[in-house]
Amino acid sequence: MTTLLYVALVLLIVANIFLLYLVLYKGKTKTTASYNAKDVGEFYNKQTDNFLKVYGEVIQAFRTTDVSKLLAYQMEAIGFQKGQRVLDAGCGVCGPARYFAKHAEVTVEAITISQDQVDKSKQYIRQAGLEGSVNVQQGDYHHLSDYYDSDSFDTIYFLESFGHAVNHEQVLGEAWGMLKPGGTLYIKDLFIKEAAIPSLEDDILREVQNINKAYRYNVADLYQILRFARKKGFIVSKLKTIDIPLEDFENLTISNDFQELTGINKIENLQEYVFPVDFFELTFTKPWNALEYGNSRYFLQNLFYMQVHNRKQEEL
């Protein structure tokens, strides 16, 4: 009997250690990055010529064959209004920034961690005669308040750049600080796929880790990002899959071409490859916290935000 009890106790301890491993190790793979922003800058300083060769001036994997269709779609999805001041966070060589400045008639501040991309962007901006409407600078979007005034942007967007963040929550907080009340934060990115079949979970995590390592990425967990954003006070105005018509979709062969050219994260056996991410567009709105907006369509969220800030309900 005592032997039986002893065995049961040992089994219980082993099970607890395993559970602890699951919580600590597996949880960890989803949230921590093994690099810093400077490493991301060095990666792009080294690889931007290769990105230009394969991707051209829009460095996004999920795209249309004719990239102007992707930019037209994004212009619509972000919902710019003429004359707005917007921030392109993680701007690449300013392909999207130049397109939006020209077609949506917005003024774009653009920031990238890579000096090489800044130099190239400046040249492209000059060639396009857009010096007055696109301004680019080198910097880290984890510290936006070092470069820009608070409450100064109508819109901030991240196009396949947010996932490089070492600290997603900090980046959301910085974006919040830079947005005007009522402003829009738009993120298009890849997020860890949910394993519909439990046995695929390990494959997904392994492939996500490969992406993270190869591209200095920190593929985000959608639910965690929503939690961070809502905790900050953002209104989740939209969360959707990207609706690109099948005939326009590029099919991600561009990623394979890049992998062929550089050897980075080359997938040896496509047959067995488990595609580990989903692409989503997230649109967050910063509440107004102002009496005159009490009757807007986001009435409830605005009210809540005001309550959080000790405003009295009867003031509405």
To ligand SAM, the closest distance from the beta carbon of 59 in angstroms equals 4
Under the binding rule (CB under 6 A), the answer on residue 255 touching ligand SAM is no
Q: How many CB atoms lie under 10 A from the CB of residue 147?
A: 15
Under the binding rule (CB under 6 A), the answer on residue 98 touching ligand SAM is no
Under the binding rule (CB under 6 A), the answer on residue 164 touching ligand SAM is yes
Under the binding rule (CB under 6 A), the answer on residue 58 touching ligand SAM is yes
**Residue 282: C-alpha distances to residues 62, 155, 178, 229, 230 (Å):** 15, 13, 18, 10, 12
Exactly one of 47, 92, 109, 172 binds ligand SAM (CB under 6 A); that residue is 92
Residues linked to residue 249 through DSSP beta bridges, in sequence order: 64
Residues linked to residue 241 through DSSP beta bridges, in sequence order: 280
Under the binding rule (CB under 6 A), the answer on residue 140 touching ligand SAM is yes
| 56/83 with CB nearer ligand SAM | 56
**3 state SS of 106:** coil
Sole window of 160-168, 224-232, 270-278, 300-308 interacting with ligand SAM (rule: CB under 6 A): 160-168
Q: Cβ contacts of residue 129 below 8 Å, gap of 6+? A: none
**3 state SS of 289:** coil
To ligand SAM, the closest distance from the beta carbon of 11 in angstroms equals 46
Encoded tokens for 123 = 């040249």
| 153/305 with CB nearer ligand SAM | 153
152 close to 183: Cβ distance less than 8 angstroms: no
Under the binding rule (CB under 6 A), the answer on residue 142 touching ligand SAM is yes
* Interface with ligand SAM (CB under 6 A): 37, 40, 44, 58-60, 90-92, 95-96, 111-114, 117, 140-142, 159-161, 164
